[in-house]
Structures are given as C-alpha cells and as structure tokens.
Chain A
Amino acid sequence: GAGVSQTPSNKVTEKGKYVELRCDPISGHTALYWYRQSLGQGPEFLIYFQGTGAADDSGLPNDRFFAVRPEGSVSTLKIQRTERGDSAVYLCASSSQAGDTQYFGPGTRLTVL
C-alpha cells in the first residue's frame, strides 16, 4: 500500500515568511509524528499526535512552530516568521497505534533564504 507522503518535497522561502508543510500518513494509522533533521544530524523529535490531539509537543522549539491534525489523518506543520535557522529536512512518520513501528515519509527540505 501507499506509504507516508509529504508535500512539498522542497520549499524555498524568504526570512520572515509563513510556510505550511503537509503530511499524509499511511491510511488507518492513528499516531503521527513530526521530526526535524538538520544537516549532518539525526532527526529531532518535534511533536506527536494520537488521533486529532497533540499527545506530546515538547519538541517544538518555540511558539513560531505549530502543528494540527483536525480530522485525525492529514497533518500540517506551520512555521511563522521563518528564520534561516529553520532550514532543515522536516520528516513525518506514522504508526498504526502508539508504540508501534514508525514509518517515515521522504521529508520536506525547507530552505530559508
């Protein structure tokens, strides 16, 4: 079946702009995760959804970052007033339920000029 998909694959924006990154999890997966991977580093946990609610958002770096999952399927990561330091690959993963194996999408490469 289809895996986790993320759009866009690449996003270039200017400092100060607002961006939205989308994640389509595997159908039926109730748990969804966002990570950020900077160059040369491992993925860094941002937020985890169980259904529609954010079960753990302790990894969001500041209040410019926000994520939603209104219907318990697709999720959107929103970044306001982007900064050059936000440049990274943003990864999304889903699992059939909390604690099960996480399946990762290909990521969205965000570049802030």
Chain B
Amino acid sequence: AQSVTQLDSQVPVFEEAPVELRCNYSSSVSVYLFWYVQYPNQGLQLLLKYLSGSTLVKGINGFEAEFNKSQTSFHLRKPSVHISDTAEYFCAVSDRGTSYDKVIFGPGTSLSVIP
C-alpha cells in the first residue's frame, strides 16, 4: 500500500523568502507524484506533477519539485514567496499499475506567508 508523509503541518515564512515543503512517500511500485494547492475557500488545484523523464518538475506560480527515487522524496520549492501563496499544500501519489487513478494524498502543509 502507498502512503504519503508531509513532515511539516505548518510552515510560516516571510514574504520574498525561499520555502521548501517536504514530502516523502512509500510504495512498492513505480509512482506518479503530484502537488496540489488549496487556497482558502477554493477547490484543489494541481501545481505540478511528475510522470517520467526529468526529475526536476516546474509548475505554476513559480513552484518546482524534485523527484528523488533513492530518498523517496518529492519536495516542493519556491525561491521567493508572495502573500498570495498562503494556502494548504498537498503532496499525492498514485502507482503506475492498474490502480494509477487511485490518488493517495498526504495530510497537507499549511503555508503562511508573513508580510
């Protein structure tokens, strides 16, 4: 069975500072990896996804993530955050086999950008 760990439940960061949100996963098979963002009172929105190829994935709003197979990690980074980045961020995984549509989400990390 797959699982996703997001070690930091809350991350406060000052505006224009860099940020890294950590994600680790466990799976016995090859996986697809995702980061979703949930802004206050809005639905989930896909930030970026890793399917194959380059391990560095660029997404919307200046975010990027790097897939590290040996460390089973998919950390999300942004070099300079804005107030508008305040939101809940979810890491998610699905396997490449027959159940690839069953997406397993982590518990989320609440990013608070401080002016």
Contact = CB atoms under 8 A, between A and B. Distances in A.
B105 to A, nearest CB: 3
Interface of B: 4, 36, 42-46, 49, 90, 92, 99-108
Given A33-B103, A41-B107, A103-B46, 13 more contacts: A33-B101, A40-B108, A41-B108, A42-B4, A55-B101, A56-B101, A59-B102, A95-B101, A98-B100, A99-B101, A102-B103, A104-B43, A104-B45
A44 to B, nearest CB: 7
Contacts of A67: none
Interface of A: 3-4, 31, 33, 35, 40-45, 48, 55-56, 58-59, 91, 93, 95, 98-99, 101-107
Nearest to A100: B101
A3 B102 CA distance: 21
Given A40-B107, A42-B108, A58 B43 contact: no
A95 B49 CA distance: 15
Contacts of B99: 56
B107 A42 contact: yes
12 contacts: A4-B43, A33-B101, A41-B107, A42-B4, A48-B102, A55-B101, A56-B101, A91-B44, A101-B49, A104-B36, A104-B45, A107-B43
